[in-house]
Structure 1
């Protein structure tokens, strides 16, 4: 399996993965609707929200809470599912607190 992202993430690589994950999520209307409801924003606010600190952490946490979405994204991108957790950790400096 050839991965597009490294096994260990710096902030830039983690942000790139989370942005990619957001794009993938945007193509899945069912999951996107649930994510937006949990985030408390509407579709029109998504682009601006994506620039806010911590938003991309929330995207990765959403994936970690939805196994079927996580596995389909990882399969489509040739990633190990643990890459999502590693990127989340890199983006947030290790603090915990998943989006439920």
Structure 2
């Protein structure tokens, strides 16, 4: 599946919603990014912020699996969506 930027943003918003509803993982995201709960609301429409959400999610296979299982989508979807967002072609996987 190939994402347009708009469909990738929609997918990343789903990831953000999943993250916001995860009591264990949300504090890790906030701590890692320095973002506040208000920042999540304020930046939900920013493609670069949404890209950062997917970057964070893809840091751990268990997070990807949990998110994708919730949405019932293939495990490579976050990576495919990330490619369609700003900086996606420059992601270093090392």
- Give me the whole-angstrom Cα distance separating, in 2, the residues matched to 1:77 and 1:94: 25
1:19-63 Cα deviation digits (max 9, x unpaired): 001001111021111111111111122211323341001110111
Given the alignment, which residue of 49, 59, 65 partners 2:53? 59
Name the count of aligned residue pairs.
92
- Give the aligned CA root-mean-square deviation in angstroms: 1.6
* Structure 1 portions without partners, runs of 5+: 1-6
Change (3 A) 1:56 1:97: farther
Structure 1 segments, 4+ long, off by >3 Å, are none
Per-residue deviation at 1:97?
A: 5.0
Per-residue deviation at 1:65?
A: 0.4
- Give me the whole-angstrom Cα distance separating, in 2, the residues matched to 1:77 and 1:86: 15
Change (3 A) 1:73 1:58: same
* TM-score (norm: length of structure 2): 0.87
Given the alignment, which residue of 35, 38, 56 partners 1:41? 35
1:64-83 Cα deviation digits (max 9, x unpaired): 10211210111111111111
* Structure 2 portions without partners, runs of 5+: none
Match of 2:44 in 1: 50
